[in-house]
Structure 1
């Protein structure tokens, strides 16, 4: 799987819709800015079939200092953005998982042929 950057996304959307890349860049940046503003206010963003972005509170927990494992450190509670995939997104992920599992089993069969 590849990492898709904002630059790549702008390029693809621009070509797909026949729009100038600067126009697409402005729309995407505005979209991200507005999303960030709403999330910062504690609002929930719902995109049907795609998913939901919301702020959740991560609980306080005890961690370990990597330099001195004997000394526990308290990691304070903090807000975090949570993404929950929507129905179509879940279906696409499940389909990808099925394909990946199928390719793994094919590799195993060719590498470790079973004897009868």
Structure 2
């Protein structure tokens, strides 16, 4: 799904125009980015949690040459799915197994 598809689904589901839905989505993304930059977590109950993870500097290897390289410290974004998304994943994993047994 692309951003345009998401905007269309949001507009249809909320009964608003695509322009309004795109503004709402952009505002959500900006607010999420601002919260993460400030070091806060964003928790949407049942959906998931956006947070940041600090990664330490370390020594790695170039897989082509085997030469050691320095990997700088950085902060990454992490998403932890909530209960509803975890349950969705579990249901999707069980469905193909049942279909395979029927054949």
TM-score normalised to structure 1 length: 0.78
Please list every run of 5 or more consecutive structure 2 residues that lacks an aligned counterpart in the other structure.
none
Equivalent residue, structure 1, for 2:88: 92
Pick the aligned partner of 1:46 from 43, 47, 71: 43
Q: RMSD of aligned C-alpha atoms? A: 1.8
Report the alpha carbon displacement of residue 40 of structure 1 after superposing the two structures with TM. 0.6
Matched residue pairs, number? 103
Stretches of 4+ aligned residues off by more than 6 angstroms: none
Task: Show structure 1 runs of 5+ residues with no match.
Answer: 111-116
Look at both structures and tell me which one has the larger radius of gyration over its CA atoms: 1
Show the counterpart of 1:113.
Answer: none
Q: What is residue 17 of structure 2 aligned with on the other side?
A: 20
